[in-house]
Amino acid sequence: MRNILIAVIFILGINVSADSFQESALKGYFEAEGYSAPGQNRFAAMIAAKVDAQRRLLEIIKGAQVTSATTIENGVLKSDVMISKVKGIVQGARMTARKYDMRSGTAMIRLAIGYKDFLNKALKDKDFKDAFYQTAKTTTPVFQAVKEEVVSAEVVYDGLIVDATATEMEPAYINRVYSDNKVVYDPTKVPQQVIVERGLASYTIDINKAKAILDTYGVKNPLIVKATATTKLKSDVVINSADATVVMNSNDKSGFLESAKIVFVLK
């Protein structure tokens, strides 16, 4: 019975969904478990489990969203060469757990790679970087009607929290902020060094956790704005023009957008 269960896990474990990417974005890393076939010695079983974990991890990363309309696989990995480069990064994933069952001769290994760490390593390759940003630029948003709200007070802020809990926003590597059909925040403009330090954006499901994340970036007075809608691409959100004015005025003084000091709060 145990061996049958392991076989079922082996077959079903590679399914990847938008939910798995959202989970990865919220916890900050991609993670996958690999399993060996039964009846092997410890050494052989561990090797087989590691190879399986790498395969599963690659599947999850290939399903990672550049925008909500495009995954890395269908938007970036257009060639065997590109896939082999990503495989090289996956092979460097850290082992977070391992187990060998002497009774069944089976092994389990869990591998993880940082969500931001993967992107940083991948973008160091020019071919990946060009394909990644080209994919982002060719996914055009379609805007919906936006309800205007009260203008925020004129205060200088040094970070941004976008409360998207009232929308269907989905995490993606490229999450833009728009207002009046114009871009307020565009991750493709973030310098490489900033990506090394903190990625393109962070995600949480709680405003206080968002403040805590920004605190680690040295942000003392974050601006909190509400997203009123998403574009047709659910990875992009829309804020009203009053809040956008405050964002841009504050950014002119503290440059938090170019430093990717931004956190999205998801529902």
Residues 203 and 103 in one domain: no
203 and 122, same structural domain? no
Write out the DSSP string of 100-133: EETTTTEEEEEEEEEHHHHHHHHHTSHHHHHHHH
> Are 113 and 175 in a shared domain?
no
CB-CB contact of 200 with 259 (8 Å): no
Domain membership of residue 216 as a residue range: 159-265
Helix, strand, coil % in the chain, rounded to nearest 5: 40, 20, 35
Q: Are residues 90 and 174 in the same domain?
A: no
Together in a domain, 21 and 97: yes
Residue 19 and residue 53 share a domain: yes
Residue 65 backbone phi and psi in degrees, to 5? -90, 125
How far, in Å, CA of 66 to CA of 76, rounded?
9
Taking every pair of Cα atoms in the chain, the longest distance, rounded to a whole number of angstroms, is: 69
Q: Is residue 163 part of a domain?
A: yes
Does pTM top 0.95 for this prediction? no
Distance CA 213, CA 204 (A): 9
Tens of pLDDT along the chain (267 residues) come to 344 334 333 333 444 445 667 788 888 899 999 999 999 999 999 999 999 999 999 999 998 889 888 899 988 998 999 999 999 999 999 999 999 999 999 999 999 999 888 988 898 899 999 999 888 887 766 655 555 554 455 677 999 999 999 999 988 888 999 998 889 999 888 888 888 777 788 899 999 999 999 999 999 999 999 999 998 888 999 999 999 999 999 999 999 999 999 999 998
Cβ neighbors of 120 (< 8 A, separation 6 or more) are 195, 196, 199
146 lies in a domain? no
Of 137, 167, 186, the domain-final residue: 137
Beta bridge partners of 107: 100
Rounded to 5 degrees, φ, ψ at 229 are -170, 170
Looking at the 3D structure of the chain, how many domains does it have? 2
For residues 15 and 117, state if they share a domain: yes
Residues 42 and 110 occupy one common structural domain:
yes
> Which of 103, 137, 171 is the last residue in one of the domains?
137
Q: How far apart are CA 54 and CA 226, in angstroms?
A: 39
The per-residue b/e assignment along 79-110, b for 16 or more CB within 10 angstroms, e otherwise, is: eeebeebbeebbeebeeeebebeeebbbbbbb
CA distance 267 to 262: 17
